[in-house]
Amino acid sequence: MRAFVWLAAFAPFLAHRLPLAHRGAAGFDFPAIAALDGEDLFWLAVVAVDGAWLIARRARLAAALPLLAWLAVALAAAARPDERTAKLRDGPREPGERALFSPIGFGPEESDWTLVMAPGVALPLPPSSRHWLGSDGQGRDLLARLLHGTRVSLGVGAAATAIALAVGLMVGLLCGTLRGAVDLVLMRVVEVLLCFPHLFLVLIVFAYLPHSRTTMILLLGLVGWTTTARLARGELLRLRDQEFVLAARSLGASPLRLALRHLLPNALAPVLVAATFSVAGAMLAEFALSWLGLGVAPPTPSLGRILAEGQPLIARAPFLSLAPGLLIFAVVTSFNAWGEALREATTPEFSASRQAAGGSAP
Amino acid sequence: MKVGLASAIGLGSAALVVALAAAARQGVGPSERTGDPSGHASFATVASFAGSDAGRRSLRGGSSEAPRHGGTMTQSVTASYGTLNNITRTKSGEELVCRTYLFPPLLDLDPDTFEIVPLVAASRPEISPDHRRYTWRIRPGIRWHRGLPDGSPVELSTADVEFSWRMIADTRSGAVKAKGALGPVESVKAVDRYTFVVETSAPYFRSELEFGYDFRIMPAHLCTQDPEAFGKDPLGRAPVGYGPYRFDEWKEGAYLSLVRNPEWFAPEKLPYWVDRVRIHFVPDVNQVPTLFERGELTLVAVNDCSRYEEMRKDAAWLERATFHEYYLPHVVFITWNGLHPAFADPRVRRAMTLLNPRDLVRDKIYRGHAQVVSGPWAVTARECDPSIAPLPFDPPAAAALLDEAGWQDHDGDGWRDKYGKALRFVLEYSQTTAPVFTVGLGWFQEQLKAAGVAMETRAVELNQLAAELGEHRYDAAMLGWVADPRDDDVYDRFHSDAIDAGSNYGSYRSAECDRLVEAFRAEFDESARLKVAHAIHRRLAEDQPCTFLYNPQSLVLVSTKLRNVKLHAMGARWFDWWFAE
Amino acid sequence: MRTWLVRRLLLGFPTLLGITIVTFLLSRLAPGGPFADLADPEGGRPITREHRAALERNFGLDRPLLEQYANWLKRFAQLDFGESLAPDRRPVRQKIVEALGVSIGLQAAAVLLMYAVGLPLGVWCAARAGTRLERWIGRALFLVHSTPTLLLGTVLIALFCTGRLASLPLLGLRTPGLRTDGAWAAFVDVARHSLLPIVCLALAGLAGVTRYARAGVLEALRQPWIQAARARGLPERRVLARHALRNGLAPTLTLLGNLLPWLVGGSLAVETLFSIPGLGRLSTDSILGRDYPTVMALSVLVGVATMVGFLVTDALYVVARRRTELE
């Protein structure tokens, strides 16, 4: 799973339309690095933190990568972007002009016009030295799209889960500590949210809001907090009966202190475990939505969208559909495996009461 | 829970089965070329069969086998039928079944020449000099599939015609499309058992064809007489008609089965050798070639041109199927909303067309199985002026036009803008659009980006798209339109009256175009009318209210078990095919 | 216990009301209306404004929202679900019962299959926990669990309906026009058609059941009385069967709380792939077609089923808690 996150973070370096470094008449510049935006930097920051953690645990080999990330950030400040260098790949060059392109050489959203317009060339392009996994039906490099698509799917899944986690924990805490009427009402709200046809919500949201990743994240987050809430509440109700809580209460701790200091840290473990499964679920939901055409707007790649585009070509180029499918369940499987490992590490006893409180679906 | 969401909305890709749907708009039947002996040659020998199994004789040319009754023609549609009530039905799939098999129309079109041919009508109607009174005569001897409860047969008569008109005209019955298709009809009155008179409110050259082709008849002796209950009449689920096929079984969500009517009244024109018809409801379009392979379907349309080409070279496929291509008057186009600040300017619209790599899409995606069009008609239509060439793919010219129109990159952000607003828009299309149409959009998007225009494409639910188009609340939309095979009238699409009340989604307003369209409608002489049509074509090509994209071919596979397979100009009409032993 | 149950049941009514209100509001908020067929921008002459207004008047869609909802509620209280707005205008109850019959049959069979395979598999995994084979089986289960149902179905179709192993039918639930003499032949026909859809549905939940069974049995095996039984020299099989199974498989019962909502869920993916007219397609089609009466009726159905499911899960928790309290 770590591999996927790191690959996602470094996607803009592995597959970009613009060259990484370019020397022209005006001197050196780094177009691809200069084109990094806030989201790219966030991913790099995540990786930097992870790398730092690895260093702290003395994993020497991994130490180099976060350093590279920081180096990229520093270079970005000094670079001047130049759009015209995109044509450098196949077009005419001035004497002395050199360009260093990313390893894959193509961005995820641009068609390879040189090949597309060449007569006698059939789409999708088969794998070749120019396109390592071939292209999709529109002439866009498949490997680049898969890489960036994984990044988008992962990003959406993680962000949606983060929101779901935050909201769900809050609601679960409220229910678990305050109990009584608050608990009753909030649980009914949860039931209502789970029972009405979600397709309507999806349709309405995508009718009135722009088709962007933010919309997807908000939608998935606001629909998904219910599971976390029920789980958190179940945990809290279970923990309330433990001795340490009774002790704290008898010492006069306020409900807030009780919740934050005593209950939350202990309830967190199974909630976090469920969260990892949630990320997988959110990714699958985003996959399904993109497949229906309701996800992020093209040309932004996402694994579901790549699959949807590849489906009509399935007889001629089955790999176009298989690849995103394989990727999605590789990522989801790795998240599930991570979650399982986490669960076994944090819950040595698998008691019936916890299972009843969890109650996840077949 | 999210997995539940995911699986609950994991809809299979439902593409538009254009060929079959479009084929549904076309009519039935070959010509009755009165007085033309050469035309009779193919039917002279057939006439001796007179709808019975007696006699076996070989036919001219096409096949050495003798025609025989038997076999089941199996086809598929994506969407389930709602109702087969001939008057309240709305979908094109239902139209195919009703018009072709159950309730043939008064007037039909020759599938090759598109000439008007009387079918249920005994002859073409008498038209009054002011073109407002049409006297129709029904052919006697046409029997409904089911008669009175005591078993006695009932003939199609003006009682049915009057009853049907009463239902169509009454808004409580929900016969919305039936009424809309008839145009300016005011009244329908019976004169005697087989004669009735139709009065229209204004002279319109299409009135005869529209009424003859689109007037829908239902049995007066079996249906409920109450307009409010008419839409729910059980005959909608078990229709009784008078056509070449009788209703057999309708398994909800699975298939519709029809069986041959031995009392069919026009076997010399339309023999219909095949014994049974079965139409399966297959929501996943990708499965259709698989089903054909398994022999469960005998006539299918293929959307993917590259796959079609590959099948043509595959020996296994050549054994199972014969391959046919034909052009329907189906045009795919992008409509620009004239209320958008950029698209109100014809120069911008022209620039959009110049930036669209249509030839590339035709070559690479359609593999030549389409034509680039410059107007709302197919290249093969008579209304289309072949001398008007489509605009070429010319980015520099487009850039010049956009500059001239005032859209330049004033603020250096890479996008053209005017008065501080960047040139960005959303192009919408229906979710059910076949993927083959949307690849071209991706290339269009990239070309626009290179030219400094930001386009976002969006697949939108049909309901929402219809609402937005009707209220003119969109930027641009990609749509398809199947024109009428003859005398297509674009009043509903490009006349300024149609902005509020019609399909003029782009709010296109042009005094000259209005004048031409009105002249077209009032012209009763065919050759003069075609000249006006050419003028309309020229005006539309100049103004570019829409970017007309392609006229795609329909690609059809027919099982090799069928004999005498030939496709007409109108499409896969199989009335004269039969199954081998 | 009893008071808790009664209280929860009573609370069900306002929750159901809330569900219907939310569904009603959302369905009206979604753009477009039930007459999109008629306003199809790609097909023929559109209908006039007057005609559309007349249609809306006919069906009471021009009334204020509150009145429309109140009308619906009044009729619903008399168990009258109204008529569908789809062109077939059939009674909603008839459409739902038809689709429900199909879906319940398939889902019930899938659940049986899931438990029939999942429980023994889980027990076996627990008995062989940690061995290489068991770990591979675990990974295979994850693979299946993580694959979207549509992909799974496509693979199964590709394997068993086309190509060399083609042996199973693809369309629907019955062979059309097949004359079956006797109930057995008809049953076999339906069984052959539904095998793949049931397998598809079962695979989706198999991993969960197996996981729960395995974990439960493993935990039961760790209990001290198991050690005692082993120490007494009882054969392993008896230890497993008599002691571990009964306690270990109890947690899987909690999954049954989700049984009812699952039964009325209907998998859209499977129904689309195999052309089965079940609840998944009915609900999606009625939402996309803005068939308000059908949508409301379905949301009530799903709502009731889900609430009952929650009730069962929570009740089991309460029972378990009471039992641990007694210990």
pLDDT at A199 over 70: yes
Give the rounded distance of the alpha carbon of B104 from its chain centre: 16
In angstroms, rounded to a whole number, what is the distance separating the alpha carbons of residues B414 and B427?
A: 20
Grade residue A234 by pLDDT with cuts at 50, 70 and 90.
Answer: confident
How many other C-beta atoms are found inside a 10 Å radius of the C-beta of residue A1?
18
In angstroms, rounded to a whole number, what is the distance separating the alpha carbons of residues A299 and B278?
A: 41
Per-residue pLDDT tens digits for B87-146: 988 888 888 899 999 999 999 988 888 889 999 999 999 999 988 999 999 999 999 999
**A-B contacts (CB, under 8 Å):** 108
How many other C-beta atoms are found inside a 10 Å radius of the C-beta of residue C114?
24
State residue B370 phi and psi, 5-degree precision.
Answer: -165, 165
Using DSSP's 3-state secondary structure scheme, residue C17 falls into: helix
State residue C174 phi and psi, 5-degree precision.
Answer: -145, 150
Alpha helices in chain A (DSSP H): 2-9, 11-14, 31-34, 38-56, 60-78, 113-116, 142-178, 180-195, 198-208, 213-240, 243-250, 255-257, 264-292, 303-310, 318-346, 352-358
Residue B511 lies in a domain: yes
* Residue C258 to residue A234, Cβ atoms within 8 A: no
Domains: count for chain B: 1
Domains present along chain A, CATH in parentheses: 2-85+95-105 (no CATH), 144-359 (1.10.3720.10)
pLDDT at A173 over 60: yes
Q: Which pLDDT value is given to residue B19? A: 30
Per-residue pLDDT tens digits for C143-196: 787 777 877 888 888 888 876 666 777 777 777 766 667 788 888 888 888 898
In chain A, residues with a C-beta closer than 8 Å to the C-beta of C143 are 329, 333
pLDDT at B335 over 60: yes
Nearest chain C residue to A348 by CA: give it.
Answer: C219
Query: Cα dihedral angle (A332, A337, A338, A340), rounded to 10 degrees?
Result: 130
Residue B121 lies in a domain: no
pLDDT at A245 over 90: no
Q: Which pLDDT value is given to residue B13? A: 29
How much is the average pLDDT of B209-233? 90
- Select the residue of B10, B289, B364 nearest A123 (Cβ to Cβ): B364
pLDDT at B18 over 50: no
pTM over 0.90: no
In chain A, residues with a C-beta closer than 8 Å to the C-beta of B3 are 281, 284-285, 361
Q: Which pLDDT value is given to residue A66? A: 53
Grade residue B256 by pLDDT with cuts at 50, 70 and 90.
Answer: very high
- Select the residue of C215, C216, C306 nearest A191 (Cβ to Cβ): C306
* Residue C30 to residue A203, Cβ atoms within 8 A: yes
**Could you tell me which residues come within 8 angstroms of residue B103 by beta carbon, excluding any fewer than 6 positions away?**
B86, B216, B217, B218, B239, B241, B242, B243
How much is the average pLDDT of B226-255? 90
Block residue for tokens 């075609």: B530
Strands of A98-100's sheet, edge to edge? A27-29, A21-24, A98-100
Q: Which pLDDT value is given to residue B28? A: 23
Grade residue A258 by pLDDT with cuts at 50, 70 and 90.
Answer: low
Block residue for tokens 């691809």: A32
Q: In this predicted model, which residue has the larger pLDDT, A270 or C289?
A: C289
Using DSSP's 3-state secondary structure scheme, residue C315 falls into: helix
In chain A, residues with a C-beta closer than 8 Å to the C-beta of B414 are 83
Per-residue pLDDT tens digits for B354-399: 999 999 999 988 888 999 999 999 888 888 898 999 999 999 999 9
pLDDT at A61 over 70: no
Alpha helices in B104-230 (DSSP H): 158-169, 176-182, 207-214, 227-230
Grade residue B10 by pLDDT with cuts at 50, 70 and 90.
Answer: very low
User: Is A63 near chain C, with CB under 8 Å?
Assistant: no
CATH number, domain containing residue B495: 3.10.105.10
How much is the average pLDDT of B154-180? 87
In angstroms, rounded to a whole number, what is the distance separating the alpha carbons of residues C301 and B189?
A: 50
pLDDT at A238 over 50: yes
Query: Cα dihedral angle (B341, B347, B349, B351), rounded to 10 degrees?
Result: -120
Per-residue pLDDT tens digits for C259-318: 777 777 777 888 888 888 888 888 888 888 888 899 889 888 888 888 888 888 778 777
Per-residue pLDDT tens digits for C199-237: 988 888 888 888 888 877 877 777 777 777 777 777 777
The tokens for A204 are 């309405």
Q: What is the CA radius of gyration of chain B?
A: 25
Q: Which pLDDT value is given to residue A251? A: 77
**Of A26, A42, A144, A41, whose CA–CA distance to A79 is shortest?**
A26
User: Is A336 near chain B, with CB under 8 Å?
Assistant: no
Grade residue B58 by pLDDT with cuts at 50, 70 and 90.
Answer: very low
The verdict on whether omega for the bond into residue B244 sits within 30 degrees of 0, i.e. cis, is no
Name the range with the highest mean pLDDT among A71-85, A150-164, B3-17. A150-164
Give the rounded distance of the alpha carbon of B437 from its chain centre: 18
The answer to whether A134 touches A123, Cβ cutoff 8 Å, is no
Residue type at C322 in one-letter notation:
R
User: How far off is chain C from A200, nearest CA to CA, in Å?
Assistant: 6
User: Is A311 near chain B, with CB under 8 Å?
Assistant: yes
Grade residue A90 by pLDDT with cuts at 50, 70 and 90.
Answer: low
Per-residue pLDDT tens digits for C119-148: 888 888 888 877 888 888 887 887 787 777
Structural domain boundaries enclosing B524: 330-554
Residue B524 lies in a domain: yes
**What is the DSSP code string of B280-322?**
EE-S-GGGHHHHHHTTS-SEEEE--HHHHHHHHH-HHHHHHEE
How many other C-beta atoms are found inside a 10 Å radius of the C-beta of residue A74?
10
Q: Which pLDDT value is given to residue C289? A: 84
Q: Which chains touch A (3 or more CB pairs under 8 A)?
A: B, C
In chain B, residues with a C-beta closer than 8 Å to the C-beta of C273 are 12, 284, 287
Query: What average pLDDT is seen over chain B?
Result: 83
Grade residue A62 by pLDDT with cuts at 50, 70 and 90.
Answer: low
Give the rounded distance of the alpha carbon of B141 from its chain centre: 31
- Select the residue of A203, A284, A298 nearest B461 (Cβ to Cβ): A203
Grade residue B1 by pLDDT with cuts at 50, 70 and 90.
Answer: very low
pLDDT at B8 over 60: no
User: How far off is chain C from A336, nearest CA to CA, in Å?
Assistant: 8
Residue B43 lies in a domain: no
In angstroms, rounded to a whole number, what is the distance separating the alpha carbons of residues A272 and A342?
A: 9
Block residue for tokens 């799973």: A1
Q: In this predicted model, which residue has the larger pLDDT, B193 or B1?
A: B193
Residue B248 lies in a domain: no
Q: Which pLDDT value is given to residue B55? A: 28
In chain A, residues with a C-beta closer than 8 Å to the C-beta of C141 are none
Residue B155 lies in a domain: no
- Lowest mean pLDDT, pick from A113-117, B242-246, C263-267: C263-267
Q: Which pLDDT value is given to residue C230? A: 75
pLDDT at A276 over 70: yes
In chain C, residues with a C-beta closer than 8 Å to the C-beta of B231 are 87, 89
State residue A91 phi and psi, 5-degree precision.
Answer: -85, -175
- Select the residue of B25, B231, B466 nearest C36 (Cβ to Cβ): B466
Query: What average pLDDT is seen over chain A?
Result: 73
Q: Which pLDDT value is given to residue B216? A: 92
Residue B54 lies in a domain: no
Q: What is the 3-state secondary structure (H, E, C) of B364-417?
A: HCCCCCEEECCCCCCCCCCCCCCCCCCCCCCHHHHHHHHHHCCCECCCCCCCCE
Per-residue pLDDT tens digits for A329-354: 777 777 777 777 777 776 655 444 44
Q: B372 pairs with which residues across the strands?
A: B550
